[in-house]
Chains A and B, each alone.
Chain A
Amino acid sequence: MTSQEGFGRPPRIATWFVKLFASAEEESILGDLLEEYSDLASKSGVPFARRWYWRQTVKTILHLGGTGFRGAPWSTAVAVIGGFVLHRFISGLPDKILSTVTDRYLAFWSTHFNAYVWMLNGMSIEHLIGAMFVGCVVALVAKGREMIATMTLALVLCVFIGAAFVWIATHRPMDVAWMLWACADPLAIVFGGAIVRMRRSAAATPPASICTD
């Protein structure tokens, strides 16, 4: 009987977070956490062990995040700036394509107005896919620091979005739907980074028959 069968698994989301941030040390850190979790669960109970696991996860992520950035500040900064420029370029593309297409086929749209509305709605999704693509590119460039780079880029965007919110709040009527939608881009960037990180993590993990996570 493995320890996991006896005392349940450690929190899955916490384990996933550790996997995202612990690139080179993933196997050692997750193994150590599981070993201590099982030991604590048998001595002090599962709820205590789960609280301990979450506390360790948060501290570990903060520490690895800080050391990851300090370890390669310039290459991380280059990836973030490159990602910012790419995001500026990509986020404007759907609008440019739409205006080109509508100008060219004006007669078609006047008779198929529903298709035009559908295309307008689809643009928001294109924005999200574009942001996710940017997150993937930044993560590919910042190998080993995928989450640090994408989260830094997301934070930079959040600062710009926050400034835009303040400007809009003081100059125009508030559009809550637009404001919520504007927050989706940073999330999509981090999601793109997480996809690349998980793919790399899966490729680096050797196949083991007794590995349960």
Chain B
Amino acid sequence: MSSRDYLGEFEHIIVLALLRLEDQAYGVTVRQEIEVRTRREVSIGAVYATLDRLERKGYVKSHRGDPTPERGGRSKRFFRVTAKGVAAVNRTQRALQGLTEGLDLIRSYS
């Protein structure tokens, strides 16, 4: 993976949600965290499709928890951000900050 690889918009949002949730990050909490923080309704399918892509890129890792009766005997899949993922989110943040620096977004473009 090149050092110029940036996260896509939704990838960026998901990685930030994982960082906020720390060791409590699984499908439900990630989806709810994004909805609460961004006021945007997201589907669980979109969350998992993006998490799978991030895992293939090596930006996140996952492990399965124990099955629980509340989930019909199904296990949770917990996610955490890898060092490579943290580097990618920092790179993306810096690129966005560089682009927005000096712009008076609220006054000039609203």
Contact = CB atoms under 8 A, between A and B. Distances in A.
B71 A60 contact: no
Interface of B: 26-28, 31-32, 43-46, 48-49, 52, 67, 69-77
Contacts of B73: 208-212
A30 B43 contact: no
A32 B27 contact: yes
Contact of B27 (A4, A28, A38, A210): A28
Given A60-B43, A60-B44, A29 B72 contact: no
B73 to A, nearest CB: 4
B48 A30 contact: no
A39 B30 CA distance: 16
Question: A-side binding surface: helix, strand, loop or mixed?
Answer: helix
A102 interface: no
A64 B48 CA distance: 9
B77 to A, nearest CB: 4
10 contacts: A28-B27, A31-B27, A32-B44, A32-B71, A34-B70, A56-B43, A61-B45, A63-B43, A210-B67, A210-B72
B74 A60 contact: no
Which residue, of A3, A32, A208, has the highest number of chain B Cβ atoms within 10 A? Answer: A32
A67 B46 CA distance: 9
Contacts of A60: 43-46
A30 B74 CA distance: 8
Contacts of B52: 24-25
Nearest to B69: A2
Kindly state the interface size class of chain A when it binds its partner: 20 to 34
B45 A63 contact: yes
A59 B70 CA distance: 23
A15 B74 CA distance: 14
A32 B26 CA distance: 9
A40 to B, nearest CB: 11
A28 B77 contact: yes
Contacts of B76: 28, 31-32
A129 B100 CA distance: 61
B67 A208 contact: yes
A29 B44 CA distance: 7
Contacts of A27: 74-75
Contact of B45 (A22, A31, A34): A22
